[in-house]
Amino acid sequence: MKILAICQALDLSNKKLGITPAWWQILKGLAEQGVEIIAVPYFGKAVKSLWWNCYENPNLTKVSMYEKLEQIMTHLPFYKDQMSFRQKNQGSLTKVINLLIKPKWKKHLEYIIEKEKDIDAIIVLTIPLNQFEGIPEYVKEEFGIPVYYYDGDTPTSLPEYGGISVSFYDNVDISEYEAFFINSKGSESSLKEMGAKEVHTIYWGADPSVFVPLKTEKEFDVGFYGIGDRLREESINFMIGEPSKTMNSSFAVAGKGMGSCIGNAKYIDADEIWYNKFYSQCRICLNISRIPHATVFGSSISRIFELASMGSCIVTNPYNGIEEWFEPNKEIIIVNDLKETLEIYSNLLDSSESRESLGQAARKRFLKEHTFEHRCSQLFNIISKSLSSYSSSEISMS
């Protein structure tokens, strides 16, 4: 099987797109299933690897200029931040992108398909749907190649949540994709109501060869890594902000865009840390999910599996569907408010045996059920079955 993957990004140096490491692991996992991968980035520069060949971003210069213009505009007094600018001008921005960027992508895909000759399927990895409208249907009609969409940001990407900055789904006919792969079981009905032909939930996971337990000295009692505090401010406050002010313990927060709710915790810029080492230096490792992920059933995120892969002692905010992956109080601890948080932290920090037991149990469960080998095997099987049905359909139509 040969797949052309149009990725949101391939450049790991762009910390604004926190999902990029997950796409690396998925492409690597598919390659290990025997899939030949051709990758093209939608944002940023192309990056080669041992697991895929790649083509350059056809709009690298235009997208960079567009992003710089957007940054300048967001500093005007009319807009408080980048998100408000995008929300208020989404229609106009989409028109500009369709005029400048989409036509070049269409030609670029024609070039790649004709050069490669034997591409079986195209999978689009969380790029703006409304900036790619019409292309999947064109590729299907012109070349007979089915196009699939992988949304790794559900449910926050859906219209009812407005997306992290804007919704990808506004004014888009999503039935032009053969199937959707999403990370949220509870979001399947929303996609079907919007017109998706098929929806398959593939939970996030982690690569155990990447997220490995490191033997290092513990520097922090409690640690958290995240990109932005939006839609999880309350949980950050009762899990980090208030405890950091009242407990005689060391707290650390690493990442980007974290606000004032982290209290007295030490803040470390994402550019200055090695992810594995940071969490390996923490006695207690936090998973703090945004409200949509925490409340919509079975809405997986990468962090929880990465921590389990490293054998971390994991404490999480309330999470609807956590039992899909880990057993509470045996493999993971849930805290609901400040009182519970203070009690759990104190108990765990007093007992290295309890922390180690939780971490070992989480890692054992992870290795049994939640690696990217498991996820990519599931993805490979779904696409293989779909391609078989698609080929049969094409033959009968002809």
Question: Per residue in 333-375, pLDDT tens?
Answer: 999 999 999 999 999 999 999 999 999 999 999 999 999 999 9
In 3D, which of 165, 136, 162, 171 has the Cα closest to residue 67?
Answer: 165
Question: Alpha-carbon dihedral of residues 246, 249, 253, 258, nearest 10 degrees?
Answer: 10
For residue 25, give the H/E element and its range: helix 20-32
CA 361/CA 184 separation, integer angstroms: 24
pLDDT tens for 192-208 read 999 999 999 999 999 99
Question: Alpha-carbon dihedral of residues 67, 69, 71, 72, nearest 10 degrees?
Answer: 170
Give the predicted TM-score (pTM) of the model. Answer: 0.89
pLDDT score, position 128: 83
Delimiting residues of CATH 3.40.50.2000 domain(s) in the chain:
2-205+373-397, 220-370
- The correct answer on CATH 3.40.50.2000 for the domain covering 2-205+373-397 is yes
Helix axis angle, 90-100 relative to 60-73, nearest 10°?
A: 160
CATH of domain 220-370: 3.40.50.2000
Percent with pLDDT over 70 in the chain: 86
227 contacts: CB under 8 Å, gap ≥ 6: 15, 16, 18, 255, 256, 257, 270
CA 359/CA 361 separation, integer angstroms: 5
- In terms of C-beta density within 10 A (0-12 exposed, 13-18 middle, 19 or more buried), how is residue 377 classed? middle
In 3D, which of 360, 315, 361, 366 has the Cα closest to residue 342?
Answer: 315
Cα Rg of the chain (Å, integer):
22
Sign of CA dihedral 170, 15, 29, 275: negative
pLDDT tens for 221-270 read 999 999 889 889 999 999 999 999 999 999 999 988 888 899 999 999 87
